[in-house]
Structure 1
Amino acid sequence: ANRLGGNSLIELLVYGRITGQAAAAYSEALTAQPRSATAVSEARAEVDELLAADGPENVRALQRAIRNTMTEHAGVVRDEDGLRTGLAELDAIEKRMQNVGVHPDIAGFQDLAHAFDLKSAALAARATLEAALERRETRGCHNRSDFPDMDPSFRVNLVWSPTTGITHERIPDVPDEIASLMADVSTEGKLVE
């Protein structure tokens, strides 16, 4: 859902900064910066493959197609039919992605950057659609019109991987010392996500 209100934007800033600072501190403390030769080789091969891509499909048109599919079928209110239609459309877009054309020009490598963005968008779209289809309930800002109630068995995190699909990870109970502090804070009149 495209909900930029509430706490989501400030959480993004606060935890993004904390994460970035922790990553920088970790990196600075290393005595060496090891690189995986395999990872570097795979990255080079991926760049070379994209730079050699000379198909008829336009990267930006495919980005727009993913955006339209997600807007239409994975919006704030979702249902099984819409999510399945979205997955079918995404399958077709991913098939078209195999025939993409990447054409660097005098302005630089914008097409290459957009091609990587396209691949990331397709992964994120698939994860979103498959997880939304799996979560057969309404919880928080995930609203399934065909499953309007919350299901206690779905008090889990759904974790998606391109290799394993969806897994359910149990959410641990809130530790007693935190739960007691939470009891003292009223949520009345507050947006709680």
Structure 2
Amino acid sequence: MAHAAGLDAQRRSADAVAAARAEIDDLLAADGRENVRALQRAIRNTMTAHAGVVRSEEGLRTGLAELDLIEGRMEDIGIHPDIAGYQDLAHAFDLKASALAARATLEAARERRETRGCHNRSDFPDTDPTLQVNLVWSPTTGVTREEIPPIPAEIAELMREVDTAGKLVE
């Protein structure tokens, strides 16, 4: 960190730059049948239907199955730059990010088999003390549990219980 802070310029990895350029070139060459905006809508609809305020194992499994199909369709997208510019390319990157976020949300929500805070599981209405952890998702490792560090004493002194009975918790 100290080394990087002392540099006048930060060099980019040549491999990372080449990979990014190749991804853009591949997308610009994509001439498939699937419309990027339609796939974005499909992800939004799936998340609204299956990962809303109240969730269940069945709904989350259905959401993951739908996402699998959408990701399969993403392999056949068409990017069509036109006189107006490269909106399809921008939407394609947004689509990839949305699919990644959707998968992380669905898989982590499925792993959290409890109701905690604003995560409401209709099939697991109680809080599970063993799940007082952060659930961390990665495309390579899936969902892992990360212990929550202790609260520093100076912050703990400021905390108090808030009664949520009869209140909408957001």
Fold agreement, TM-score > 0.5 = yes
CA RMSD of aligned residues (A): 1.9
User: Which structure carries more helix by proportion?
Assistant: 1
> Is 1:54 aligned to 2:25, yes or no?
no
Taking the TM superposition and a 5 Å limit, the aligned residue runs for 1:1-193 are 30-183=7-160, 187-188=162-163
Structure 2, unaligned runs of 5 or more: none
How big is each residue's C-alpha offset from its partner over 1:169-191, in whole Å with a ceiling of 9 and x where there is no partner? 000121223212325xx635798
Give the % identical residues: 76
How big is each residue's C-alpha offset from its partner over 1:130-172, in whole Å with a ceiling of 9 and x where there is no partner? 0000000000000000000000000000000001100000001
**Letter in structure 1 aligned against 2:111:** E
In 1, the alpha carbon distance for the partners of 2:70 and 2:6 equals: 43
Structure 1, unaligned runs of 5 or more: 1-26
CA contact (8 A) 2:118 2:169 kept: no
Q: How far is 1:31 from its partner?
A: 1.2
**Letter in structure 2 aligned against 1:136:** R
Q: TM-score by structure 2 length?
A: 0.91
Matched residues, number: 165
**Letter in structure 1 aligned against 2:71:** E
In 2, the alpha carbon distance for the partners of 1:165 and 1:154 equals: 16
Q: How far is 1:29 from its partner?
A: 6.6
Question: What SS does the aligned partner of 1:87 have?
Answer: helix
